[in-house]
Every structure is written in C-alpha cells, then in structure tokens.
Chains A and B, each alone.
Chain A
Amino acid sequence: MSIMAYNGAAIMAMKGKNCVAIAADTRFGIQAQTVSTKFQKIFELGPRLYIGLAGLATDVQTVSERLKFRVNLYELRENRRVKPKTLLSVVSNLLYERRFGPYFVEPVIAGLDDVTSEPFVASLDLIGCPMVTEDFVVSGTCSEQMYGMCESVWSPDLDPDQLFEAISQALLNAADRDAVSGWGAVVHIIEKDKVTTRTLKARMD
C-alpha cells in the first residue's frame, strides 16, 4: 500500500495562448471506499495563480494552509502579489524543509505572471524538486495515463476554449483508467482578465 495512493488523485495543468488551465478530480476516498465527491484539491493563491495538490489528503490540506500562510506574509512584506516562478521556489523550500519526513504531496502550479501575463506551469515532487515545462504538467496516481492523454491532445498556442476541451478530455479519460481517481472533476481556465471555473460531468464510478 503506497502512501501516495492511499487517497488517490489526478491533477494536471496546461499552457495555452496567453492562458493556462489547471484541472483536478474531486474524489476523496480511503483506499477502495469513496467518502466524498466534492473534495477540493486546487487552491487559489492569487487572482491568476493556482496550485493543485495530489497525494495524501491530510497533507494536501496542511500544505495548502501552510502555503497560504507563507504567501500572505510574502504579500504583506513585499506589498505585491507573488509571481508564479517565485511561488515555485516558496513551495520547493516548504517541502525540502521536511526532507527526511516529507509531506506526501506532489504539487502542480499554474498561473499568469502578474505583470507580463506570461503563462507558467510547473510541478514538484514530494521533497520539492522543481520542474518548469513549456507544455503541460501532471501529478497523481494516474500520472502515466495523464502523460499519454496530454501528449495526444495538447498542441502549442491553444486558445482558452480549445485548451478547455483538451484538458478536460485528457483528465477525464486518464482518470477513467484509474480506480482511485475520478468521481467528479473541476477545471479552471486562467486568462489575463478572468478565470472561468467549470465542473465536468464525469463518470461517477
């Protein structure tokens, strides 16, 4: 029994033309039993900056709370919003502090730079190793399936509507091939002037 597969999750983020998308399933389960179908795994850390956390549910909640605390203090000190790239370093530091007793989460970051509105996606492992990509990032118990789906449906410079279709299909079909992911899905499309949040009609099994 793997600790990372105790609760199960499927999270991904994709880059588009002047936009990013982040999506996650909404299942909260304990091994084979599903307890809730409305569990939040994506958290807003800025008007155009979101982090998705896959892994052990208690650590998802703890890390999101501790991270919000750090970001709040950062914004109070610096008197400005945190940049996506900087958030990546903040998360990396938070996780590496627990190098020999880690939080069992694998975060995914998606956002637009506050000043330049440049799209940004990144992911980290449970001890804070950062990875920035130019296309998409995935995290969770069905990461192999998600890599396959993303590679097939993604292409560069998708507009917000095309990006929504791409990320939705990628997440839904990958999660359907994983027993502990799925049971509902939520997608956030982040553009320069607005964020659109949609819940997907997913297979509830």
Chain B
Amino acid sequence: MECLIGIRGKDFVLLASDSVAGRSVVAMKKDHDKMFQLSSKLLMAVSGEGGDTVQFAEYIAKNIQLYRMRNGYDLSTKAAASFTRRNLADYLRSSTPYMVNLLIGGHDDNDGADLYYMDYLGSMVNLPFAVHGYGSFFTLSIMDRYYKEDMTKEQTLALLQRCIDEIHERFIVNLNSFKVKIIDKDGIHVLKDIRPTTKPPVEAEGTQQQQQLMDTA
C-alpha cells in the first residue's frame, strides 16, 4: 500500500514517499520517513516487507559509509546502485531474501543527477521518473504526459502535486501526506510535506431542488 515516487529534474532528483506506516488495516504512524541517507548526496527510498526494508537500507547505508572511510571518497550513484542490486540479487536465492522495492536518487560530479529504480528481485533501471506501489498505476501515465527533461524544481513539484492529487482521488487507501526530499549538487534538502490539494465539495445536480421540495413539504 506504500507509494514511492522519484522524478529527475535539471541537475537534481526529487524523491517522495508516503508517510503512512501501516500494518494490515491499521495506520500506526502518519509521519513516517521511508527514505534513508546513504551518503551526503545519495538517498534511498524503500518499501516492501516490514523489517526487511529498514534492515536492508541500513546495511547498504553502512557499507556505503565504509567505502567512504576506506577510500576517502564517495561511491558514484551508479556504483552505489549496482552495489545495492548485487546484494539484492545475491540474497534472492538465499534462504533470507530481502523483499524490498527501492528508488535510489543521487548526484555526482561526473554524471549529474541520476534516479535508479529497483524491484525486490534485483532488476535495476535508470529512469527519468519512477513509481513503486499501487500508486504507479495512477501516476505513471500522468508523468508520461507532463514530464519534460530538465524541469525546474517548481515544475517538478507541480508534477508531483498532480500525481499525489490523483492518488488521493482514485486510490482506495488514504495516503494524505508525502515526505519530499531533493538531492542536488549541494546535498540532500528536506522539503515540506506535500498533501493533496483540498477541493471544495461538489454538489450533485438537482440536490438543491430536492432540498427545497423537502423543506416546503
């Protein structure tokens, strides 16, 4: 029921995740952050099996930090994503596979901003925009229609707002708050939570007349 959204803009990547932590039919926490900082300019959003998500994310984050300590510089986004993929693929055929779907957004000096999509089996793709979860069925078409290369931060946030509004409109599960973070050449910036735009309630045709009739009766 979780939704992760990633959009690549001009020299930055925007990652958004819903902030509901739920078990079965209960929403336990409404302001949960599903994104993990792997390094100063690498962010990973995770969804999937409870426990696996945090364990796997922390394992990857610590190993990325270990590389930095050993070598003195950060892994590139592509290398970090490949490392993550290798781990997911290796564990897939073990007795303890990780059921984690994730998005990795990062910025480095050679390749600029990059967004990687990975499913729990370990298939990895570099994409301009990506969505995990049921939300993908509602939002990918919207992004196909309105996404352009090299959008500004404002344009990307507007696109994200459209997507969140559509999820709120048509997805049966209430995801009314998304945590949003941006990764650019200056690092990771936390933006304000995004909520669906509240629309005024639509009155059905004829209800006013019906109400008048009932009042006079």
Contact = CB atoms under 8 A, between A and B. Distances in A.
A101 B93 CA distance: 8
Given A28-B123, A36-B125, A101-B93, A61 B85 contact: yes
B89 interface: yes
B137 A61 contact: no
10 contacts: A33-B136, A33-B137, A33-B140, A36-B125, A39-B125, A58-B88, A58-B92, A58-B121, A58-B123, A61-B124
B124 to A, nearest CB: 7
Contacts of A58: 88-89, 92, 119, 121-123
Contacts of B137: 33
A56 interface: yes
A62 B89 contact: yes
A73 interface: no
Count chain A CB atoms within 10 A of each CB in B89, B121, B123 and give the residue with the most: B123
Interface of B: 85-86, 88-89, 92-93, 117, 119, 121-125, 127, 130, 136-137, 140
A61 B89 contact: yes
Contact of B125 (A28, A33, A62): A28
Interface of A: 7, 28, 30, 33, 35-36, 38-39, 56-58, 60-62, 65, 101
Nearest to A101: B93
A87 to B, nearest CB: 22
| A interface majority secondary structure | mixed
Given A35-B125, A36-B125, A61-B123, 17 more contacts: A7-B123, A28-B123, A28-B125, A33-B136, A33-B137, A35-B117, A35-B127, A35-B130, A56-B123, A58-B89, A58-B92, A58-B119, A58-B123, A60-B123, A61-B85, A61-B89, A61-B124
Contacts of A101: 93
A36 B127 contact: yes
Given A33-B136, A62-B89, A101-B93, A57 B130 contact: no
Contacts of B123: 7, 28, 56-58, 60-61
Contacts of A62: 89, 122
Contacts of B136: 33
Nearest to B140: A33
A49 B194 CA distance: 50
Contacts of A36: 117, 125, 127
A39 B125 CA distance: 7
Contacts of A38: 125
B93 A56 contact: no
Count chain B CB atoms within 10 A of each CB in A30, A33, A62, A101 and give the residue with the most: A62
B126 to A, nearest CB: 8
Contacts of A60: 123
A36 B136 CA distance: 13
Contacts of B121: 56-58
Of all A-B residue pairs in the complex, the 6 with the closest CB atoms, nearest first, are A57-B123, A58-B122, A58-B121, A58-B123, A36-B125, A62-B89
A203 to B, nearest CB: 16
Given A35-B127, A35-B130, A36-B127, A61 B117 contact: no
A33 B123 CA distance: 14
Contacts of A57: 121, 123
